[in-house]
Chains A and B, each alone.
Chain A
Amino acid sequence: MNVTATLLGQMATFLVLIAFISKFLWGPLTQVLEDRKKRIADGLEAAERAHQERELAKKRAVEIIKEARDAAAVLIDQAQSRARVVVEEAQEEARGEAERLLVAAKTEIGKEVHRAKEDLRNRVATLAIAGAAQILRAEIDVERHKQLLDRIAATI
């Protein structure tokens, strides 16, 4: 078998085919495959990220709810103790007021009693003088015996 120009012909065909495949098949197709690989990887990564974010959000929501509940509990506690204080204060005030009123009433009563006694005493003195005058038939000089009469009135 001699070496002939067929060799050159086949070489030319081979080279042309290589050039063609490089330009129209291998180049674009590997690019497409690369793109697809990249896009799939990106998609998976995004999904993973979204998943993580959702987990995080869930955790945060739980935390927020817990915080809110705690705050509410604190507020309720505060309100309750404040209410207790207010009630106590009111009671205290009411008691003081009542006592004051009572004291005022008592002094009033005392005054009234005193005045009544005074009044009674005066009347008794007058009555006694009148009685004595009746007995003595006007013999008693008011001017002269006033001192005596006063002493009598004071002892009643």
Chain B
Amino acid sequence: MTQQAHEVAAQAAHVQQQIHEQVTPAHDPTAYIQHHLHPLQVGEGFWTFNLDTIFIGMFAAALIMLLAYLAGRRLNSDVPTGLQNVLESVVEFVDQQIRDTFTSRPSPMVGPVACTVFMWVFLMNAMDMLPVDLLPTLAGMVGVEHLKVVPTSDPHTTFAMSLVVFSMVVFYNIKFKGFSGYIKQFLFHPFGKWLVPVNIMMTLVEELAKPLSLALRLFGNMFAGELVFLLIATLPPWVLWVPGSLWAIFHILIITLQAFIFMVLTVMYFEIAHAEADSSH
């Protein structure tokens, strides 16, 4: 623990030093990239807060809330206009996914959670489309030394969502299968009653892989995307715009796709949790 703390402190000092030397992509690419991927932290140990992640996440959430509030305040069921149209298409899209996936009647919270996941992840991912140096430079002007712009490239964000989803999955499992039904699933699935220890291991891995893969997929994609942007930023300015624009265009796809995948998998896990315990075991 102490050794780790020392390491962190040393690293921080190193980074601090680099900032004072005005890091630019040209003369030290490694430091430049490290600087951009380092979050703005306060606190120590467990009580460390990645302020950039939290604030930009909150900013995205607040933006969604504002839009939702503005549109939700005066809904017109006859002639939808402007903002309502946009939000309607999002809600209908998510609703359609739920209808297509669910064989039983979904619980009332499935829709809101899926919708929130989709919009929030999309908006946070979309922060990636801002030029990599824009916000950090602006922040630097007001004395903030580090700024990691994309909250979803911080595993805390992705794990926060996947853990919430996972706990809801467990809740729905117990609600619809009963506690014993849920336990039975661990004992007798997938190999029947003669291989109980193996079953427990398999099902445990299967269940734990859900939140893990959910969180790591999004984090990996967004982190890698940001990294590629940073790498591109280290190229000489006269050639930078070619790969930069290409990757940005491709990244539009990734941003949307990752938000979509997170949403669809959330819905799918909920659906599996909703299914009745099969009576054959």
Q: What is the interface of chain A, defined by CB distance below 8 A to chain B?
A: 1-11, 13-18, 20-22, 24-30, 32-33, 35-36, 39
Contact present for B61 and A13 (CB under 8 Å): yes
A17 touches B65 (CB 8 A): yes
Q: List 23 A-B contacts (CB under 8 A).
A: A2-B45, A4-B46, A5-B46, A5-B49, A6-B156, A7-B160, A9-B54, A10-B157, A11-B163, A13-B57, A13-B61, A17-B64, A20-B65, A21-B64, A21-B65, A24-B68, A25-B71, A25-B112, A26-B112, A29-B72, A29-B75, A29-B88, A32-B88
**Distance of A11 Cα from B68 Cα, bound (Å):** 20
Q: Give the dominant DSSP class at A's interface.
A: helix
B75 near A2 (CB under 8 angstroms)? Answer: no
Beta-carbon contact of A32 and B112 below 8 Å: no
Closest partner residue, chain A, to B47 (CB atom): A5
Q: How far is the CB of A22 from chain B (nearest CB, A)?
A: 4
Interface size on B, as a range, is: 35 or more
| Residue among A1, A6, A15, A33 facing the most chain B CB atoms (10 A cut-off) | A6
Q: Which residues in B have some Cβ–Cβ distance to A below 8 Å?
A: 43, 45-50, 53-54, 57-58, 61, 64-65, 68-69, 71-72, 75-78, 87-88, 91-92, 95, 108-109, 111-113, 115-116, 119-120, 151, 154-157, 159-161, 163-164
Across the A-B interface, how many residue pairs have beta carbons closer than 8 Å? 124
Residues of A within 8 A of B157 (CB): 6, 10
Q: How far is the CA of A27 from the CA of B164 in the complex (A)?
A: 20
* Contact B87–A25 (Cβ < 8 Å): yes
- The 3 closest A-B CB pairs, nearest first, are A10-B160, A22-B112, A25-B68
CB distance from B25 to the nearest CB of A (A): 24
B220 to chain A, nearest CB (A): 13
Contacts A17-B61, A25-B68, A33-B91; is A6 near B154 (CB within 8 Å)? yes
Q: Using Cβ atoms and an 8 Å threshold, which residues of chain B touch A27? A: 112
- A21 near B92 with CB under 8 A, answer no
